[in-house]
């Protein structure tokens, strides 16, 4: 990817994170902000929106760090495990999904509380991962399904860990949706930017050859 295209990729992902967090923030924390709309306190609403947008930029940067880290890990995995890498990724996906239920239940469950409510987060992550992986297959090839699912489940969960450890429900949902959307955006849009980079390189090569 050329530097110009990378900057474009970086900035558009930032906007995705900021806008998504601004929307999701008002939805998941509506009970904190509903009085602002009831009283038409537009300056307060704009200040909250600006704050949420800034938080979304941070979430986007975390997402991008995770994405480029995964690209490196994926190359290492292919080099080390070769044809077994897909199997390793499936095992890791199952392990992370199990941990999202088991360890959160062990750490935060109240006495007598059932385990069923702790499957909610797992369902969100898994459904999002399956949908994005299916879309990735349509835009590329069948071999992209498992890596895409791995990225959406395992990498998103790793990026999400700081909030999961605090276990504040509003922050859990506030962070997970922007992360999922930013991760999905990067995964699905990357081929377009790679193609744009290839076109730019061809143009530069043509200019050099002509001179």
Per-residue pLDDT of the chain (211 residues; tens, 9 = 90+): 778 888 999 999 999 999 999 999 888 877 777 777 677 777 888 888 899 999 999 999 999 999 999 999 999 999 999 889 999 999 999 999 999 998 888 888 888 888 888 898 899 999 999 999 999 999 888 889 999 999 999 999 999 988 888 888 888 999 999 999 999 999 999 988 888 888 878 877 777 777 6
Contact 153, 122 (CB under 8 A): no
Count H helices, E strands: the chain? 8, 0
Report the SS3 class of residue 113: coil
**Number of residues assigned to the chain:** 211
Report the pLDDT value the prediction gives residue 64, as an integer from 0 to 100: 95
Structure tokens at 59: 């979430």
Domain presence at residue 102: yes
> For position 48, what pLDDT does the model report?
85
Spacing of C-alpha 82 from chain mean position: 26
Residue 211 belongs to some domain of the structure: no
153 lies in some domain: yes
Instruction: List the domain range (segments joined by +) for residue 62.
Output: 3-205
Decide if 93 is inside a domain: yes
Residue 181 lies in a domain: yes
Tokens 């385990």: give the residue.
115
Residue 175: alpha-carbon gap to chain centroid: 9
Residue 116 is assigned to a structural domain of this protein: yes
Residue 119 structure tokens: 């499957």
Q: How many domains does the chain have?
A: 1
C-alpha–C-alpha distance, residues 104 and 167, integer Å: 9
Greatest distance between any 2 Cα atoms in the chain:
77
**Within a domain: 210:** no
In a domain, 77, yes or no: yes
């Amino acid at each position: 990817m050329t530097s110009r295209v990378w900057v474009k990729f970086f900035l558009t992902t930032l906007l995705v994170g900021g806008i998504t967090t601004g929307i999701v923030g008002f939805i998941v924390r509506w009970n904190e902000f509903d009085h602002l709309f009831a009283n038409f306190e537009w300056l307060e609403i704009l200040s909250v929106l600006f704050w949420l947008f800034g938080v979304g930029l941070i979430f986007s940067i975390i997402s991008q760090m995770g994405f480029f880290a995964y690209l490196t890990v994926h190359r290492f995995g292919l080099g080390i495990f070769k044809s077994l890498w897909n199997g390793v990724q499936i095992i890791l996906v199952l392990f992370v999904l199990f941990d999202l239920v088991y360890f959160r239940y062990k750490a935060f469950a109240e006495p007598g509380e059932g385990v069923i409510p702790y499957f909610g987060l797992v369902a969100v992550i898994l459904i999002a991962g399956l949908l994005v992986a299916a879309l990735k297959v349509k835009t590329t090839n069948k071999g992209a399904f498992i890596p895409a699912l791995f990225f959406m489940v395992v990498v998103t969960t790793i990026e999400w860990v700081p909030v999961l450890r605090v276990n504040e429900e509003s922050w859990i949902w506030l962070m997970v949706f922007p992360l999922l959307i930013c991760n999905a955006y990067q995964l699905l849009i990357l081929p377009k930017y790679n193609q744009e980079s290839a076109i730019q390189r061809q143009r530069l090569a043509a200019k050099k050859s002509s001179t």
